[in-house]
Amino acid sequence: MKLSANWIRDFVDLTVNDRRLAEDLTDVGLGVEGIEGSGADTVFEMEIGTNRPDAMNHYGVAREAAAIYDLPLKQLAKGTPSDVPSAATSKAALAAEDSSFPITVEEPNLCPRFTARVIHNTRIVASPGKIAHRLQLLDQRPISNAVDATNYVLWEIGKPTHVFDADLLEGGRIIVRKARPGEILKTLDGVERKLTTEDLVVCDAKKPVGLAGVMGGYDTMISDKTRNIVIESAWWDPLTVRKMSRRHGLHTDASHRFERGADFESTILSCDLVAGMILQSGGGEHVGDVVDVVSKRMDQAPVLLHVSEVHRILGRGLDAGQIFRLLKRLGFALVPEGQDDAQFWVHIPSWRLDVEREIDVIEEIARLYGYDKFANTLPSYSGAVVEAPHAALNAAFRERALALGYSEALSLTFISHADAEKFSALPPDTKVLELENPLSEEASVMRTSLVPGMLDMLAWNLNRDVPEARLFEMGNTYLSRNGEREELQCACLGATSQAVRVSLPVGGALDVSKGEHAAATEAFRGFKGDVEDLLSDFAGCLTYDRNVAEYFHPGRAARAIVNGASVAQFGQINSDVAQARKLRQNVFIAEFDLDRLYKFGLRPAKFQPLPKFPAVERDFSFIFADSVSFGQMQKAVAAAGIGELREFSPVEIFRGGSISGGNYSILLRARFQAADRTLREEEVAQWSVKIVAALTELGGSQRA
């Protein structure tokens, strides 16, 4: 949310500049994520935790600033100016028996306090320039003096209020009750909402006129014709407001605060502040005194604070006097318990609903004192340190990925149903794990694949002018099998085509002049090299096939198989998927099943001295059908049992020309070397014959 730095300074005389204020507020837990504007128009972009509704306003942040710098906090002006007439002195006042405004609360547990004020003979005009300007700084649209007064007070002290056109309230009264079956309320956004018996509503004598704590009604809203106003300020049950907000798909500034807990003691103050602003800008007079219906008190129980517990958790850097002064600066009242200063009863201010336990009070002491002022100490521990399972394997994978130039990243654990279906091939006896209370449809199930998160992170980088992104993530995926929840350890590699091109070695740079298809094929081979490098740390024989998921490009993807088990699939993401996620260039993804891969363990490190005798290379040119892969050639040659064969690799592939369709020509290179002698020509010739025989048996024909 946005808050005005100048507005905060209205309540505390600060000597620090705005940038220093932002840093100090962040240090105590009210994160300032950014600063916009300058001078009187400086605005803080703040990230305030859901447990701190008291700080979601200017006065609340000013209270924190006063505590930080140990400065006095200015009190809010209560009531309205003395020159504003009231019903008792105005000639236009109604008779005494008509001045009271009846309020009935039928649900005292859901609305323990309802406060109202009545204003007559006012005018609806534009708000004064200062009020309108401040609301605009917070991206709030000025509407009229009456409506703007409620918004201004909301952003000033954090208490939502509402104004009704009193002449449109049938029966001249307000009733707080549960909605009746079949009732309909047209809210201020112009939408007719069908109410349920679980909804709490504000009503006049005949109909609902507001959804309690969420939004007011359209039929009683303020207009240019309004002359008489009823101001409402109530305390609503947070759980009830939250359920109504979700049920009707309405998240408002009011519901955002009420469902987190408002200040029970601020209802009269907020009514008076709104009334004062309306009367100053539009004239008029009060009718009677404030109407305050309190069904039950919401006093918070005091917390017993032990100084010894503070020392146990925070260390002995704070004495009882310092603890007392720190808490007093935050608005807490302390009463000693017993004859010494070993423990205190801490009385919680009405605006701090998040403080309920002793540890909460200790946290308040720590954040105001400054976490950086506590000495770094380790807790005492007498047990044995147990290494996490697969720690060495995880470290090997992570170190290899970092060495290849990939940066580790973390994505959300939640994905959408659509992504779960598209990027997961769940076995028949499994299903996804759905969240009971999802934040949105885009995050409604536990992830079944790391790919959606990786694609989102690559898109995020591309959209922020980082075209050479290389990322990897190690984490768990989740599913349900026969009613039991399972976690599978996985890893995901992601790179943009430009990042792959940059990573190719000198002399192997991507030659885009060969055409888009050839360039993309070379990029795939470069990415395949990274996958091979990652798998090289693990034991087993690595082969490939083309049995991959549909979201991969059919010609630039492969599956990695170790000793017959599928451990990874990788390749270029299909163009349809890339376009749907608005990826600005081709991206390559690799998925690793770490649970399977780790079963093979790490490849034993073996030292081999540099050979003293020279190697001998021989090239073989063969024609094969497209159905024959290099992996099959590799297996056939390995089966020949040539002990001195050190390397067997492809050098060049050629299609077209004199090569018939459905076939390709491949140049293969074998390197022979012995550790104890110089190889003789007849030995190499014999081994070459074996290689030719193995490849011929596989279906190849040797080219002259």
Q: 327: domain CATH number?
A: 3.30.56.10
Give the model's pLDDT for residue 165: 95
Domain assignment of residue 43, given as a range: 2-69
pLDDT band for position 338 (cuts 50, 70, 90): confident
pLDDT in tens, 402-461: 999 999 999 999 999 999 989 987 777 888 999 988 888 899 999 999 999 999 999 999
pLDDT at 397: 96
- Looking at the structure, tell me whether residues 288 and 335 fall in a common domain: no
Domain-located, residue 657: yes
Same domain, 510 and 562: yes
Q: Where are the beta strands (DSSP E) in 56-190?
A: 103-105, 113-120, 162-165, 174-178, 184-186
Say whether 495 sits in a helix, a strand or coil. Answer: strand
Q: What is the mean pLDDT of the chain?
A: 90
* pLDDT at position 83 over 60: no
Helices (H), 584-640: 594-598, 630-638
pLDDT in tens, 35-73: 999 999 999 999 999 899 999 999 999 999 999 999 999
> What is the structure's pLDDT at 590?
96
Is residue 508's pLDDT more than 70? no
The residue-averaged pLDDT of 649-660 equals: 90
Instruction: Name the domain boundary from 534, 563, 598.
Output: 598
Q: Does residue 80 contact residue 272 with C-beta atoms inside 8 Å?
A: yes
Residue 371 token pair:
């976490």
Give a yes or no: residue 74 inside a domain: no
Q: Are residues 686 and 567 in the same domain?
A: no
Q: How many structural domains compose the chain?
A: 5
* The predicted structure's pLDDT at residue 90: 35
- Is the predicted pLDDT of residue 113 greater than 50, yes or no? yes
DSSP 562-577: ETTEEEEEEEEEPHHH
pTM of the model: 0.63
29-34 contacts: CB < 8 A, separation 24 or more? 29/367, 30/55, 30/61, 30/64
On whether residue 268 sits in a domain, the answer given is: yes
pLDDT band for 86, please (50, 70, 90 cuts).
very low
Q: Who wins on pLDDT, 273 or 482? A: 273
Q: Give the three-state DSSP class for 646.
A: strand
Strand order in the sheet with 663-672: 645-654, 663-672, 616-625, 701-702
Residues 449 and 523 in one domain: yes
Statement to judge: residues 244 and 350 lie in one domain: no
Which residues is 336 bridged to in the sheet?
Answer: 344
Q: 444 and 421 in one domain?
A: yes
**What CATH number does the domain containing 688 carry?**
3.30.70.380
Instruction: Name the domain boundary from 20, 53, 69.
Output: 69
The predicted pLDDT at position 265 comes to 93
What is the pLDDT, as a whole number, of residue 107? 95
Residue range 626-643: mean pLDDT, rounded: 92
Give pLDDT, residue 531: 95
pLDDT in tens, 288-313: 889 999 998 888 899 999 999 999 89
- The pLDDT of residue 387: 78
Closest C-alpha among 120, 165, 123 to residue 288: 120
φ, ψ of residue 576 in degrees (nearest 5): -65, -45
Is 126 within the bounds of a domain? yes
Say if residue 507's pLDDT is above 70: no
**519 and 406 in a common domain:** yes
- Is 107 found in the same domain as 25? no
As given in the structure block, the two tokens for residue 490 are: 């996985």
Same domain membership, residue 531 and residue 414: yes
Tell me which of 260, 294, 328 is where a domain ends.
294
Q: Are residues 106 and 135 in the same domain?
A: yes
| Residue 703 phi, psi dihedral angles, 5° rounding | -85, 145
> Quick one: 116 and 169 in the same domain?
yes
Residue 10 domain-assigned (yes or no)? yes
Q: Is 160 helix (H, G, I), strand (E, B) or coil?
A: coil
pLDDT band at 89 (very low <50, low <70, confident <90, very high): very low
Q: Tell me the pLDDT tens digit for each residue of 160-185.
A: 999 999 999 999 999 999 999 999 99
- Tell whether 84 is covered by a domain: no
pLDDT tens track for 126-162: 999 999 999 999 999 999 999 999 999 999 999 999 9
What's the CA gap between 533 and 373, in Å, rounded? 46
pLDDT above 70: residue 224: yes
Asked if the structure places residue 381 within a domain, the reply is no
Q: Quick check: is 611 in a domain?
A: no
Residues 264 and 337 placed together within one structural domain of the fold: no
